[in-house]
Amino acid sequence: MIMKDFDLRAFRQRNGIQQKELAEYLGVRSSFLSAIESGKRPLPDSALEKIKANPEWELNLEKINLEVSGDSIQQNGGNNNIGKIEGNAEVLALRKEVELLRSINEELKAEKAEYWRLIKELTAKQ
Protein backbone atom coordinates (compact mmCIF):
# COMPACT_ATOMS: atom_id res chain seq x y z
CA MET A 1 0.00 0.00 0.00
CA ILE A 2 1.25 3.50 -0.85
CA MET A 3 0.60 6.66 1.18
CA LYS A 4 -0.48 9.47 -1.18
CA ASP A 5 -1.61 12.24 1.19
CA PHE A 6 1.54 12.63 3.30
CA ASP A 7 3.43 15.80 2.37
CA LEU A 8 7.05 14.74 2.82
CA ARG A 9 8.48 18.19 2.13
CA ALA A 10 6.17 19.83 4.70
CA PHE A 11 7.10 17.09 7.19
CA ARG A 12 10.83 17.74 6.68
CA GLN A 13 10.41 21.50 6.96
CA ARG A 14 8.26 21.24 10.09
CA ASN A 15 10.89 19.07 11.77
CA GLY A 16 13.98 20.86 10.43
CA ILE A 17 15.27 17.75 8.65
CA GLN A 18 17.51 18.00 5.61
CA GLN A 19 16.66 15.76 2.66
CA LYS A 20 20.04 14.05 2.92
CA GLU A 21 19.51 13.34 6.63
CA LEU A 22 16.08 11.77 6.02
CA ALA A 23 17.44 9.76 3.09
CA GLU A 24 20.15 8.30 5.33
CA TYR A 25 17.60 7.49 8.04
CA LEU A 26 15.34 5.71 5.53
CA GLY A 27 18.23 4.01 3.71
CA VAL A 28 17.41 5.57 0.34
CA ARG A 29 19.00 8.12 -1.96
CA SER A 30 18.20 11.83 -1.78
CA SER A 31 17.07 11.67 -5.41
CA PHE A 32 14.37 9.16 -4.39
CA LEU A 33 13.04 11.61 -1.77
CA SER A 34 13.22 14.42 -4.30
CA ALA A 35 11.07 12.38 -6.68
CA ILE A 36 8.53 11.79 -3.90
CA GLU A 37 8.45 15.47 -2.95
CA SER A 38 7.97 16.55 -6.56
CA GLY A 39 5.10 14.08 -7.02
CA LYS A 40 6.92 11.82 -9.46
CA ARG A 41 6.91 8.86 -7.05
CA PRO A 42 4.59 7.85 -4.22
CA LEU A 43 5.77 7.49 -0.64
CA PRO A 44 5.97 3.77 0.20
CA ASP A 45 4.22 2.65 3.38
CA SER A 46 7.47 1.15 4.64
CA ALA A 47 9.10 4.60 4.57
CA LEU A 48 6.10 6.19 6.29
CA GLU A 49 6.13 3.56 9.03
CA LYS A 50 9.83 4.19 9.63
CA ILE A 51 9.14 7.94 9.85
CA LYS A 52 6.28 7.34 12.30
CA ALA A 53 8.56 5.18 14.46
CA ASN A 54 10.82 8.12 15.30
CA PRO A 55 9.45 9.67 18.52
CA GLU A 56 11.39 12.90 17.97
CA TRP A 57 9.46 13.97 14.86
CA GLU A 58 6.17 15.83 14.73
CA LEU A 59 3.76 14.28 12.23
CA ASN A 60 0.92 16.78 12.55
CA LEU A 61 1.42 19.03 9.54
CA GLU A 62 -1.60 21.26 10.09
CA LYS A 63 -0.14 24.74 10.21
CA ILE A 64 -1.62 27.16 12.70
CA ASN A 65 -0.54 30.77 12.87
CA LEU A 66 -1.38 32.95 15.85
CA GLU A 67 -0.99 36.66 15.23
CA VAL A 68 -0.89 38.73 18.42
CA SER A 69 -1.54 42.44 18.14
CA GLY A 70 -2.23 44.50 21.24
CA ASP A 71 -5.17 42.92 23.01
CA SER A 72 -6.27 40.65 20.16
CA ILE A 73 -5.25 37.32 18.72
CA GLN A 74 -6.09 36.08 15.23
CA GLN A 75 -5.76 32.36 14.47
CA ASN A 76 -5.29 31.41 10.84
CA GLY A 77 -5.40 27.76 9.82
CA GLY A 78 -6.06 24.64 11.76
CA ASN A 79 -9.18 22.55 11.88
CA ASN A 80 -11.00 24.73 14.41
CA ASN A 81 -10.41 28.29 13.30
CA ILE A 82 -11.20 30.53 16.26
CA GLY A 83 -11.08 33.69 14.20
CA LYS A 84 -10.26 36.92 15.98
CA ILE A 85 -10.51 37.32 19.74
CA GLU A 86 -10.39 40.76 21.29
CA GLY A 87 -10.21 41.86 24.89
CA ASN A 88 -7.50 41.40 27.45
CA ALA A 89 -9.24 38.63 29.47
CA GLU A 90 -9.93 36.53 26.37
CA VAL A 91 -6.37 36.97 25.11
CA LEU A 92 -4.90 35.96 28.47
CA ALA A 93 -7.19 32.92 28.63
CA LEU A 94 -6.18 31.87 25.13
CA ARG A 95 -2.49 32.34 25.92
CA LYS A 96 -2.87 30.16 29.03
CA GLU A 97 -4.67 27.51 26.99
CA VAL A 98 -1.93 27.55 24.34
CA GLU A 99 0.75 27.15 27.02
CA LEU A 100 -1.20 24.29 28.62
CA LEU A 101 -1.56 22.54 25.26
CA ARG A 102 2.15 22.97 24.56
CA SER A 103 2.96 21.50 27.96
CA ILE A 104 0.64 18.52 27.37
CA ASN A 105 2.17 18.02 23.92
CA GLU A 106 5.69 17.91 25.41
CA GLU A 107 4.55 15.42 28.05
CA LEU A 108 3.01 13.20 25.37
CA LYS A 109 6.21 13.33 23.31
CA ALA A 110 8.21 12.29 26.37
CA GLU A 111 5.78 9.43 27.07
CA LYS A 112 5.99 8.26 23.46
CA ALA A 113 9.79 8.32 23.59
CA GLU A 114 9.72 6.33 26.83
CA TYR A 115 7.35 3.73 25.34
CA TRP A 116 9.65 3.32 22.34
CA ARG A 117 12.64 2.95 24.66
CA LEU A 118 10.83 0.27 26.65
CA ILE A 119 9.76 -1.55 23.48
CA LYS A 120 13.33 -1.55 22.19
CA GLU A 121 14.60 -2.72 25.58
CA LEU A 122 12.04 -5.56 25.73
CA THR A 123 12.67 -6.71 22.17
CA ALA A 124 16.42 -6.69 22.78
CA LYS A 125 15.96 -9.06 25.71
CA GLN A 126 14.09 -11.62 23.58
**Alpha carbon distance 52, 99 (integer Å):** 25
Q: Which of 7-16, 33-42, 60-69, 113-122 has the lowest mean pLDDT?
A: 60-69
What is 2-52's CATH superfamily? lambda repressor-like DNA-binding domains (1.10.260.40)
Mean pLDDT estimate for the chain: 76
Provide the whole-model pTM. 0.47
**Alpha carbon distance 21, 18 (integer Å):** 5
In the chain, where does the domain assigned CATH 1.10.260.40 lie? 2-52
Residue among 116, 115, 117, 71 nearest 94 (CA): 71
